[in-house]
Amino acid sequence: MIKSSSPSPEPVADGRKRLVLVGHGMVGQRFLEALVERGAADWQVTVLCEEPRAAYDRVHLTSYFSGTSADELSMVPAGFLDEHGIDLRLGDPAAAIDRAARTVTGRSGEVFGYDALVLATGSYPFVPPVPGHDADGCFVYRTIEDLEAIEEWAKGARTGAVVGGGLLGLEAAGALKAMGLDTHVVEFAPRLMAIQVDEGGGAALRRKIEELGVTVHAGAGTQEIGVGADGRAATMALSNGETLDVDLVIFSAGVRPRDQLARESGLDVGERGGIAVDENCRTSDPSIWAIGECALASDGRVYGLVAPGYQMAETVAHELTGGSGSFTGADTSTKLKLLGVDVASFGDAHGTSEGCLEVVYSNSREGVYKKLVVTAEGVLLGGVLVGDAGSYDLLRPLCLSGAVLPAPPEQLVLPESAGAPIAIGASALPDDALVCSCHNVTKGKIRAAVNDEGCADVPAVKKCTRAGTGCGSCVKMLTTIVQDELAANGVEVAKGLCEHFEHTRAELFEIVQVRGITSFRRLIEEHGTGSGCDICKPAVASILASLANGHILDGEQASLQDTNDHFLANLQRNGSYSVVPRIPGGEITPEGLIVIGEIARDFGLYTKITGGQRIDMFGASVDQLPLIWKRLVDAGFESGHAYGKALRTVKSCVGETWCRYGVQDSVGMAIELELRYRGLRSPHKLKSAVSGCARECAEAQSKDFGVIATSTGWNLYVGGNGGMTPRHADLLAADLDRETLLRTIDRFLMFYIRTADRLERTAPWVERMEGGLDHLRAVIMDDSLGICDDLDELMQRHVETYEDEWRATIEDPERLRRFVSFVNAPGTPDPTVTFVPERDQIRPAKPGEEGLPLATAGLIAGPTLEVRTS
């Protein structure tokens, strides 16, 4: 990396131009990503960042209090900066700009020359200059450091007050409430969220918020913070005469653009702040651009939302890579869940357009308020939704499109229980309706991705258009549009499992459970057609096994299994099988190792250590499987289910027992989990791991469910995946005790088994879940669907009725009869399965290669194998 550290910087030696970005927040990071996506080879990029950490998700800052770590909030993909040669200077904010010399001086004193300068300095919280505002115990709510300080202070506090009843203020109030504080919100305007919602919506919101135990003081100004003798905030005097006793105060009374640097260097700024920019986001100096909350856009507005900031970032990235972009204004629609209450506002929410009409539905009993603002012709101009924002995804694009509503507006605000609800679908949207505002993708672009780019499913459309990859709130609408379009093209988007069942796997699960069906024959006769196939048979076998827990080779179930489940072993390329005994948590005694070694040696099998901390033995014929397993079972081993869509392994690190850094017994926990869930049949394989400390040696975050020890309990991660489509697991819950951990995993697994599609791993299942992780938490931790008793009972039954499939098989002559190569010549091994020696073991003979049957290759070739001396 070349560093421009001389006082009068020269252009970079390699001919590249120098780009300095001031500010590394969400918009700054997005700018960098847009730049490298479009090819940033011309630019040598330096980033000056005031905060001690790289860009993080400020929109979801509050989730820090519910256990999301600072690392998880990071917006910067691993390796991003190195890969693109970006020089990020943390904790070194820009202190001065010399426009004549085209240099920026950092607080560290280092001077950076630039050919292009991009300002993304964001905004700062406005703190009203009331007496006592700087007392100990007064905070703002902007950075991770702010939240850390609030969290620390709250430990010794009983009462907290938030100044400002806007979006951020209510989030802060929710956080204080969650930390157990008696919580007040003081709002100067006569209602909460005054910018977004109208009087009726504000009243509905207030009732909902007060039901949660937060005291709201609307129409009241903060006059003074009373400071105690110890220098700490103690009281708060309001303009309505009230005085509150407080231990902690959070100011969340709006933000102001950080334009000081621009002001001092003589750039044009707005009267009420903000660095003035043109449609290309260029400031009054042609070498300097400004984006995000610090910029005063060409439409005269300062946007405090992330989506417009992203659009500005894209605009400048285009400009700097030879293209052209423009930003002339943005949609400021909002939909969010505040303290569990849906709030949405879009378009002309306050009905300020000339001649507009309002249609209102208000139900204070249910806490629902909906208002639509329309023209006399029926064009939707805007609206407010509180308590139920389900129709937002449809109404907002309709509003932006300027088209006449497809139904009378009063029908669009009525709840389904009152009057005939009109089902207007995505088909009602015009092509220019904006579906994804994060990435500025219209319905037309989505249709084009399907029709012209050949995208055949939602993931392909996401990849092609980036729609749905930002905040994710439009995924439901996106899915509908894609499916409609595919259907219109005659592409069958049957949701059914296969040609034999019109039901999805989740629906079949419900049918089997509710109707108590125990056989495939009955299920296909009553609910399907034909005789089944490789898709529905194993899927139904898995459902039956998840619910009934009988032996998978009993009776008719035997015919449903694919070959691996049929022979309880893994088919390899030459028709031989591999054998994997369970080694819970990867812990094994020397005697166990010796037994496996002796068996592999006696049968001439190839051995390899697996990625799941166990031992795989290859090359067995079907005739040998019972003989091998007899010896394994006698030595105390049981099936490892390596062949099944079932729990595979729970890996572990060595944990606090031996490791200097471990804080919990990860091996013990891994063994407990593996023994609890062994044999559990599921829509796809399940992998898990337990790490004994945050160093994460067991790689738990790449697993379907992973557990990481903390000093006070266990953090549970779900939905991780390795392999072809890696996914980092999400933190579901933090610092759980053992019982809560087990109960939460029980429910997670059973909910997954019950609702996932066939062959759908937990990662895509979590990804497509409507409402995301919050919904998952609500279902399995707060029992929002009332199904937890059912899930618990199913898992309890699994745990109580588990039996080792291989022990049961070798004890049953009927089941053993299938383990022959030839039905009319039992005991004759398949002569076509042959092996040759390689690296002191066997491997399958390749076509044209002369090999020996295992009995010969394995038993007598051993001594004749070449012995490697290296």
From 143-151, 530-538, 669-677, 715-723, span contacting other proteins (CB under 8 A) = 530-538
> What part of residues 552-591 is at the interface with other proteins (CB under 8 A)?
556, 558-560, 562-564, 566-567, 571, 573-575
Which of helix, strand or coil describes residue 305? coil
Q: Assign 3-class secondary structure to 550-604.
A: CCCCCCCHHHHCCHHHHHCCEECCCCCEEECECCHHHCCCHHHHHHHHHHHHHHC
Please, which residue, 233 or 540, has the CB nearer to other proteins?
540
Tell the smallest beta-carbon distance from residue 631 to other proteins (Å). 7
Q: Does 602 bind other proteins (CB under 8 A)?
A: yes
CB-based contacts of 614, cutoff 8 Å, min separation 6: 580, 581, 582, 583, 586, 640, 649
Write the DSSP assignment of 704-760 as a string of letters: SEEEEEETTEEEEEES-B-TTS-BPPEEEEEEE-HHHHHHHHHHHHHHHHHHPPTT-
Q: Cα separations (Å) of 812 from 554, 580, 642, 805?
A: 10, 21, 22, 11
Single out the residue of 274, 468, 532, 719 in contact with other proteins (rule: CB under 8 A).
532
Give the burial string for 112-127 (b: 16+ CB within 10 Å, else e): bbbbbbbbbbbbebeb
Residue type, 509: F
What tokens were used for 789?
A: 């008793």
Which of helix, strand or coil describes residue 482? helix
Tell the smallest beta-carbon distance from residue 26 to other proteins (Å). 45
Please, which residue, 395 or 543, has the CB nearer to other proteins?
543
Please, which residue, 229 or 823, has the CB nearer to other proteins?
823
Please state, in angstroms and rounded to a whole number, the distance separating the CA atoms of residues 3 and 23: 18
Question: Which of the 8 DSSP states describes residue 63?
Answer: G
Please, which residue, 280 or 572, has the CB nearer to other proteins?
572
Q: Does 684 bind other proteins (CB under 8 A)?
A: no
> What part of residues 67-106 is at the interface with other proteins (CB under 8 A)?
none
Single out the residue of 24, 184, 396, 500 in contact with other proteins (rule: CB under 8 A).
500
Single out the residue of 659, 781, 859, 865 in contact with other proteins (rule: CB under 8 A).
859
Please, which residue, 558 or 694, has the CB nearer to other proteins?
558
CB-based contacts of 507, cutoff 8 Å, min separation 6: none
Q: Does 310 bind other proteins (CB under 8 A)?
A: no
> What part of residues 774-833 is at the interface with other proteins (CB under 8 A)?
813, 816-826, 828, 830, 832-833
Q: Does 715 bind other proteins (CB under 8 A)?
A: no
Tell the smallest beta-carbon distance from residue 541 to other proteins (Å). 10
Please, which residue, 387 or 626, has the CB nearer to other proteins?
626
Please state, in angstroms and rounded to a whole number, the distance separating the CA atoms of residues 863 and 849: 21
Strands 380-386 and 434-436: unpaired
> What part of residues 204-223 is at the interface with other proteins (CB under 8 A)?
none
Q: Does 597 bind other proteins (CB under 8 A)?
A: no
> What part of residues 470-499 is at the interface with other proteins (CB under 8 A)?
499
Q: Does 1 bind other proteins (CB under 8 A)?
A: no
Please, which residue, 27 or 524, has the CB nearer to other proteins?
524
Single out the residue of 530, 611, 636, 722 in contact with other proteins (rule: CB under 8 A).
530
What tokens were used for 150?
A: 């609030």
Single out the residue of 17, 84, 133, 630 in contact with other proteins (rule: CB under 8 A).
630
Label residue 742 left, alpha or beta by phi (over 0 means left) and psi (-120 to 50 means alpha). Answer: alpha
Please, which residue, 118 or 633, has the CB nearer to other proteins?
633
Q: Does 352 bind other proteins (CB under 8 A)?
A: no
Single out the residue of 626, 668, 706, 851 in contact with other proteins (rule: CB under 8 A).
626
Q: Are 736 and 714 in contact (CB under 8 A)?
A: yes
Residue ranges in contact with other proteins by CB under 8 A: 499-500, 521, 530-534, 536-538, 556, 558-560, 562-564, 566-567, 571, 573-575, 602-603, 626-627, 630-631, 813, 816-826, 828, 830, 832-833, 847, 855, 859
